[in-house]
Amino acid sequence: MKPKKMFIIFLFLMIVVVPVAGSWAEDGEGSVGLLDDDGKEDFDTFFEEESGYDPLESMNRVFFQVNDKLYFWVLKPVNRVYSTVVPIDLRQCFGNFFDNIAAPVHVINNLLQGKFTDATIDFSRFLINSTVGVLGLGDPALRSFGLEPKPEDFGQTLGVWGLGEGPYLCLPLIGPLTVRDSFGFAGDAVTHPVTYVSSTYLDSTAYYSADKLNLLSLNPDLYEEMKRYSLDPYVSMRQVYLEYRRNKVLDKKVENNIINDL
């Protein structure tokens, strides 16, 4: 499918579905103000907060199992080979490369959220890393210029615009998402430079898989550890995903920097 066509479908989704989606309650999104609840006598109201809207839980759990099997039967053995063949330094370089290529997505979404300074930083990072960093394999923008990446994706932009996160989804191959982030996912796919180089699904999928495989090879124990330490891995993963994404939307990092200045 041509990017143009994808964009039209995406636009259609935005126009038709967003008004509906907008009416979803944003119950669970105030979770960051840890210090704002009322002390320990009130500890049960602290935890009254909605855990995330998961009306499709039974379907999601099936896909969670599917992904689990895929992980152990396919992903893990593939990653084992990949990690043995490619040394970690090189894999870190590939990680930089994938991040660098995604820079346009980050710049666009910073702009869409009105974060002009961050957009400039990401743009400078892209220029520096693509040239001095040899096609983005290195990260001299961070190491020599101290420019920290400010990644923003379209899911975050939609959140900043006030769209509710909608039902939680766990999709085969893709993993945890919310409906809002699935729009974000589509939006990022459209703005990602890979779609301009090649518009076949196969290429995009191959690129996406390589990116994710490389990411996994850098954090190999994450999933299994999560499984090992939890009594209900499905709920644990859902909670991690939702909290992580909510913090991203609210830019909790910014808050941390404020502490820094105190």
Partner 1 sequence: MLLRNLKKIIMMKYIYALLALLVCSFWSDPSALALGGPTEQLRPTLNVVIDILLDPSLKGSEYKVERRTKIMGHVTQVFDFREMSKRVVGREWKALSPEKQDNFQKIFTKLLENAYIGKLENYSGQEIQYIGERLKDDRAIVSTQIENNGQLIPVDYVMIKEGARWMVYDINIEGVSLVRNYMEQFKSILRRDKFDGLVKLLEEKNRTFE
Interface with partner 1 (CB under 8 A): 31-32, 34-36, 39-40, 43-44, 46-47, 51, 88, 92, 218-219, 225, 228-232, 235-236, 238-240, 243-244, 247, 252-253, 256, 259-260, 262
Q: How far is CA 199 from CA 103, 154, 189, in A?
A: 19, 20, 11
Beta bridge partners of 169: 177
Helices 179-191 and 3-22, packing angle to 10 deg? 150
- Of 46 and 72, the one with the shorter C-beta distance to partner 1 is 46
Q: Are 47 and 187 in contact (CB under 8 A)?
A: no
Closest approach, Cβ 47 to partner 1, in A, equals 5
Q: Are 213 and 75 in contact (CB under 8 A)?
A: yes
- Of 23 and 260, the one with the shorter C-beta distance to partner 1 is 260
- Of 19 and 40, the one with the shorter C-beta distance to partner 1 is 40
Closest approach, Cβ 134 to partner 1, in A, equals 18
For the chain, first and last CA: distance in Å? Answer: 52
- Of 19 and 41, the one with the shorter C-beta distance to partner 1 is 41
Closest approach, Cβ 30 to partner 1, in A, equals 13
Three-state SS string over 60-91 comes to HHHHHHHHHHHHHHHHHHHHHHHHHHCCHHHH
- Of 193 and 220, the one with the shorter C-beta distance to partner 1 is 220
Closest approach, Cβ 61 to partner 1, in A, equals 11
Based on its alpha-carbon atoms, the radius of gyration of the chain, rounded to whole angstroms, reads 20
CA distance 118 to 148: 9
Closest approach, Cβ 96 to partner 1, in A, equals 10
Closest approach, Cβ 260 to partner 1, in A, equals 5
- Of 202 and 261, the one with the shorter C-beta distance to partner 1 is 261
